[in-house]
Amino acid sequence: MWLNLFLICTLGFLAATVDAIAGGGGLISLPALLMVGVPPHLALGTNKFAASLASLNSSVTFARSGKVNFALVKWQIPFTLLGAFLGAWAVLRVSSAFLNKAVLVLILVVGLYTLLHKNLGMENQFKGLTLRKIVIGCLFAFALGFYDGFFGPGTGSFLIFSFIALYGFDFVVASANSKVLNFTSNIASLLLFAWYGQVLFIYGIPMALFMILGSYVGTKLAIKRGAQLVKPIFIIMSLLVAAKLIYQYI
């Protein structure tokens, strides 16, 4: 019991630190729960509980630093919420295995594209919002919210990449905005998992405390070190998510 708690808390801290910087923390935290014998649906729900509190902490810290573009994300939040709720409702009823191939291709493209375009996301080139950009952003928010509720791996990477590609934000602002939407999708799917009794609080509460601490450390590092830190970690986590999906597929 105590060894299991030590393992999930240590890996939870590491997951939240990485996730606050560039996404992909679920690649560490979810396997940690599965490793100690938590059944898959309970592991998903427990991970959502801990990740929700960690992403809330990151969102607040980024917001206080002025890195969140609320003029944009205020429109995206309701669509993310709806998408995540529908995604979590769906995953409780069907297998997510068929998504593996499509997500594998997409996450590889995102990681390699970012690696090859050396100046991508290094400077903030945001030129303002238009109705068209808001609508497209809301559609992306709904789709990624659904994906996060349903499956999850790579959501942070997709969100960060969409903010850079659509709006020209640098990696730090993109990461800040993505944390707000990530928190929204986490809390929406968490409510449904909790309703169906799929949260193991004996592991979830201590894991959440360490993930909150990790999210604070990661957010502060991202703000202090900027895109020079966020971009390489973003590329590494994107390719690790792809490697994990390849391993599962094989």
HSE-CB for 97 with a 13 A CA cutoff = 5
Of residues 247, 239, 248, the one with CA closest to residue 107: 239
Helix axes 201-225, 26-35, angle to 10 degrees: 160
pLDDT for residue 207: 94
DSSP state of 68: -
pLDDT band of residue 76 (cuts 50, 70, 90) is very high
Query: Cα-flanking dihedrals φ and ψ of residue 128, to 5°?
Result: 105, 170
Please name the residue that has the structure tokens 């390849």.
246
| DSSP for 159-194, written as a single string | HHHHHHHHH---HHHHHHHHHHHHHHHHHHHHHHHH
Quick one: the chain helix, strand, coil %, rounded to 5? 80, 0, 20
Look up the pTM and report it: 0.79
pLDDT for residue 141: 92
pLDDT for residue 82: 92
Of residues 209, 245, 194, 176, the one with CA closest to residue 48: 194
Least confident of 5-9, 26-30, 92-96, 98-102: 98-102
How far apart are the two ends of the chain, measured CA to CA in Å?
A: 32
Left if phi > 0, otherwise alpha if psi is -120 to 50, otherwise beta: which for 38? beta
Q: CA 17, CA 237: separation in Å to the nearest integer? A: 12
Please determine, for residue 109, whether its predicted confidence score (pLDDT) is greater than 70.
no
173: tokens are 């602002």
pLDDT for residue 108: 66
Section 48-67 average pLDDT: 90
Q: CA 147, CA 152: separation in Å to the nearest integer? A: 6
pLDDT for residue 40: 77
Please name the residue that has the structure tokens 């992306």.
140
pLDDT for residue 171: 82
Of residues 169, 110, 94, 115, the one with CA closest to residue 144: 110
In three-state secondary structure terms, 120 is coil
pLDDT band of residue 226 (cuts 50, 70, 90) is low
The residues, ordered by sequence, that sit 6+ positions from 163 with a Cβ below 8 Å of its Cβ are 169, 173, 174, 177, 178
